[in-house]
Copies of this chain bind each other. A is one copy, B any other.
Amino acid sequence: MTEKKIVETLRGKRQSRPPVWFMRQAGRYLPEYRQVRARTDDFLSLCYNPRLAREVTMQPVRRFDLDAAILFSDILVIPDALGQAVRFEEGTGPVLEPLDEEAIDRLDASGMTMRLAPVFETVADIRAELDRSKTLLGFCGAPWTVATYMIGGRSSTDQAATKRFALEKPDAFNRLISVLVEASVDYLVAQLRAGADVVQVFESWAGNIDEEMFRAFVIAPNRRIVEGVRQSIAGAAMIGFPRGAGPHLISFAEKTGYDAIGLDQTVPLAFASTAFDATKPLQGNLDPMRLVVGGAQLDRRIDEIISAFSDRPHIFNLGHGIVPETPIEHVEQMVARVKGN
User: Which residues of chain A have a CB within 8 Å of any CB of chain B?
Assistant: 157, 160, 163-164, 167-168, 207-214, 244-249, 251, 265-271, 275, 285, 287, 289-290, 292-293, 297, 301, 304, 319, 323
Closest to A157 in B: B157
The answer to whether B210 touches A301 (Cβ under 8 A) is: yes
The answer to whether A297 touches B167 (Cβ under 8 A) is: yes
The answer to whether B209 touches A163 (Cβ under 8 A) is: no
Set of chain B residues within 8 Å of A244, measured between Cβ atoms: 207, 244, 246, 266
Set of chain B residues within 8 Å of A246, measured between Cβ atoms: 207, 244-247, 266-267
**Closest 8 A-B residue pairs measured CB to CB?**
A246-B246, A211-B268, A167-B293, A157-B157, A163-B289, A210-B265, A247-B271, A210-B287
The answer to whether A290 touches B167 (Cβ under 8 A) is: yes
Least distance between A86 CB and chain B CB atoms (Å): 22
The answer to whether A266 touches B164 (Cβ under 8 A) is: no
Could you tell me the distance between the alpha carbons of A247 and B271 in the complex, rounded to whole angstroms?
7
Set of chain B residues within 8 Å of A293, measured between Cβ atoms: 164, 167-168
The answer to whether B167 touches A209 (Cβ under 8 A) is: no
The answer to whether B269 touches A211 (Cβ under 8 A) is: yes
The answer to whether A164 touches B248 (Cβ under 8 A) is: no
Could you tell me the distance between the alpha carbons of A174 and B319 in the complex, rounded to whole angstroms?
25
* Other A-B pairs beyond A245-B246, A247-B247, 6, CB < 8 Å: A167-B289, A207-B246, A209-B266, A210-B285, A247-B267, A247-B271
The answer to whether B268 touches A248 (Cβ under 8 A) is: yes
A–B Cβ pairs within 8 angstroms, 26 of them: A160-B289, A160-B323, A163-B287, A167-B289, A168-B293, A207-B207, A209-B287, A210-B265, A210-B266, A210-B319, A211-B269, A211-B270, A212-B301, A212-B304, A214-B268, A244-B246, A245-B246, A246-B266, A246-B267, A247-B247, A247-B249, A247-B266, A247-B267, A247-B268, A248-B266, A251-B268
Could you tell me the distance between the alpha carbons of A17 and B1 in the complex, rounded to whole angstroms?
66
Least distance between A205 CB and chain B CB atoms (Å): 11
Least distance between A293 CB and chain B CB atoms (Å): 4
Counting chain B CB atoms within 10 Å of each CB, which of A157, A160, A246 scores highest?
A246
Counting chain B CB atoms within 10 Å of each CB, which of A168, A214, A249 scores highest?
A168
Set of chain B residues within 8 Å of A249, measured between Cβ atoms: 247
Closest to A160 in B: B289
